[in-house]
Amino acid sequence: MIIEAAAGLFAERGYANTSVAAVAAAAGVALNTVYTSVGGKSALILALTEHGAADEAITETLRRIDAAETAHEIIRIVAEGTGRVRQRQHKTLSLVLDNRTAHPDVAAAADLAERVTRERFAAIADRLLKLGGLRPGLSAHQVTDTLWFYFGFNAWRTLRGMNWSWEQAGTWLAEQAASGLLPAACDS
């Protein structure tokens, strides 16, 4: 309840213009409850980011990736999963990414979101390399960077900013990532 109230107020008013007292009022709790259960504003923005990083759609996507049998299938699952998470976490991601230079607390939250996402892409890259079926000679670092390039925050933001639907963006990103990671015969 407190995290959701903070998310709404941060999105509506911005980080700098939102007080902990306003979060408490919006959550319907005492000010002290916010401080004892979450903490001050810096703790709230980090908790909000951690909450987004724990989205159940991520767990489901990772489970599906573990069960996938081909690299092409994994790429499709990553496109679907990152699209679903970006859609669900749009407000939080926009808040921390758009305002990262406005305050050190927001920058720390943005850094956390990027670090967690890149770590997950590194694990997916390892799964892809173990499974096989990638272009010869790709390192774990290259595969991770390719996943970040096509499925990281900026790719989705760019395509959505050009009014692409979530589905159109996901399909195109999956095709481009497949083109970069899979041998030419697997690109279709």
pLDDT digits (tens, 9 = 90+) for 174-188: 999 999 999 986 444
Mean pLDDT confidence for 137-150: 98
Q: Are residues 73 and 157 in the same domain?
A: yes
Give 89-116 pLDDT, tens digit per residue. 988 888 899 888 988 999 999 999 999 9
Nearest to 110 by CA among 92, 123, 124: 92
Q: Are residues 40 and 86 in the same domain?
A: no
Q: Residue 30: pLDDT band by 50, 70, 90 thresholds?
A: very high
Q: Whole-angstrom Cα distance, residue 136 to residue 132?
A: 9
Q: Are residues 32 and 119 in the same domain?
A: no
**DSSP code of residue 18:** -
User: What is the domain-level CATH number for residue 40?
Assistant: 1.10.10.60
Q: Are residues 59 and 133 in the same domain?
A: yes
User: What is the domain-level CATH number for residue 166?
Assistant: 1.10.357.10
pLDDT attached to residue 149: 98
Domains contained in the chain, number: 2
Nearest to 74 by CA among 147, 140, 141: 147
pLDDT attached to residue 137: 95
Q: Are residues 79 and 133 in the same domain?
A: yes
Q: Are residues 11 and 72 in the same domain?
A: no
Nearest to 90 by CA among 181, 11, 176: 11
Contact in structure between 119 and 113 (CB atoms under 8 Å): no
Q: Whole-angstrom Cα distance, residue 55 to residue 60?
A: 9
CA dihedral 124, 130, 135, 136 (to 10 degrees): 140
pLDDT attached to residue 187: 43
Q: Are residues 36 and 73 in the same domain?
A: no
- Helix axes 41-53 and 90-98, enclosed angle (nearest 10): 130
Q: Are residues 83 and 22 in the same domain?
A: no
Residues 28, 32, 107, CA angle at the centre, nearest 5°? 90
**Where do the DSSP E strands lie in the chain?**
none
**DSSP code of residue 135:** P
**Does residue 188 sit within a domain?**
no
Contact in structure between 106 and 95 (CB atoms under 8 Å): yes
Q: Whole-angstrom Cα distance, residue 20 to residue 35?
A: 8
The CA-based diameter of the chain, rounded to the nearest angstrom, is 61
Q: Are residues 74 and 44 in the same domain?
A: no
Residue 68 is part of which domain span? 55-183
Q: Are residues 113 and 135 in the same domain?
A: yes
pTM given for the model? 0.88
Q: Are residues 96 and 42 in the same domain?
A: no
Is residue 57 pLDDT above 90, yes or no? yes
Q: Are residues 44 and 94 in the same domain?
A: no
